[in-house]
Amino acid sequence: MSLEVFDYMGAFDKRPTYAEIDLNALRHNLAIIREFVAPSKVMASIKANGYGHGLERTALCLQEAGIDSLGVAYIEEAIALRACGVTIPILVFGGLLKDQLELYIKHDVDVTASSVSKLEHIDATAARLGRRARVHLKIDTGLERIGVHHYSSDPFFEAALKAKHCDVVGVYSHFADADINNPELAKLQLERFLSALRYYEDRSPRPFLRHIANSAGIMTLKESHLDMVRPGLSLYGVYPGGGYESVLSIKPVLSLKSQVVYFKVVKRGAGVSYGHTWHAPEDVRVVTVPLGYGDGYLRALSNKGSAIIRGQRYPVVGRVCMDQLMVNIGQGEAYNGDEVIFIGKSGDERISVEDLASAIDTTPHEILVLLNQRIPRIYVG
């Protein structure tokens, strides 16, 4: 008796729920950012599955469009990029352990050195392998995450100057207020960074890249552009906060769509979904859609999210389930198979990532990166 092997992942290609990724919009955003920050270089932050857009396809598109380098969170992400054909520099932002160092060097991945001891381990590993390590030195100017404190960085820079098997290609820091709601804090961090750098600038035998600006820094603090910038949200057409729309004309890259799979009339007073957190105020039409928090559409969006069906915007009602949610279309019309847009545009109606983040008091980053692998990505452009 033979058993036919079922292509489980192939079935996901037929899911009614999917994320549409517009690569033309991605290229547009890169071009806009490059023009705005010139002559500074651009390192795209594509960690967390390319901010939910798909790691490999996003990286290859950006590489073809001429991006200078890429930034990821973990060495595993960098190795996946090398495996799919990415050849440009890749920096891993996160902290590292000694037993990971060979992977960095063997895959030609840039290492974040965040302490004297880690720098010494990098140098020793490179010497043992007979290779040179590409290193970015991390200076902590106020985030208190990883990196040497700006006020005690001179010994760190001395260790970098003594490392015989390391090429220091960059020195960087990171803003503690990602949205730059407090510009004075960002300016203070920039001052701390530049002050600490003077010691190394006076002694370095070769040029290196200074970088600190994220998307908000790019838009609000031009003096932070330095030699390279690291856009994340803005590259994907999402603004890091209010008031930035007039600075850069970027386009949303991701749309989240599904289809109606069930229609029913809910009687006045009847509760909908777990816990009956919403009751019909009158006899209404409610449709069910196969999207839930198991896909990354947050449970916090229960009774706060919305959807566009046939050009009309309607509220998500009741608790978002793991795999399904309900939309109240009132007295409107919808049929099984109708398109439902949760992020994106139809006619005059648009639901943005920023809208969802604002509705539940979180960041656009969280909305994007939690859209998980159960949602297939369809690439256009």
Q: Which residues are catalytic?
A: 47, 274
Helix runs in 8-115, H state only:
8-11, 23-37, 47-51, 55-64, 75-83, 101-106
**316 touches 303 (CB < 8 A):** yes
CA distances for 55 relative to 127, 175, 274, 342, 380, angstroms: 32, 24, 35, 22, 15
**137 touches 157 (CB < 8 A):** yes
Run of H or E including 264:
strand 262-266
Amino acid at 372: N
**367 touches 9 (CB < 8 A):** no
User: What is the residue whose two structure tokens read 């006020």?
Assistant: 151
Q: Measuring CA to CA, which residue among 211, 214, 212 is closest to residue 180? A: 214
Number of other residues whose CB lies within 10 A of the CB of residue 289: 25
Q: Measuring CA to CA, which residue among 176, 215, 251, 210 is closest to residue 45? A: 215
Strand partners for 168? 135
| SS3 (DSSP) at 203 | coil
Q: Measuring CA to CA, which residue among 257, 231, 147, 254 is closest to residue 192? A: 147
Exposure string of 292-331, with b = 16+ CB inside 10 Å and e = fewer, is bbebbbbebbbbebbbbbbebbbebbbbbbeebbbbbbee
Strands 339-346 and 306-309: antiparallel
Rounded CA-CA distance 40/26 in Å is 19
Query: Residue 332, exposed/middle/buried by CB under 10 A (0-12, 13-18, 19+)?
Result: middle
Rounded CA-CA distance 29/86 in Å is 20
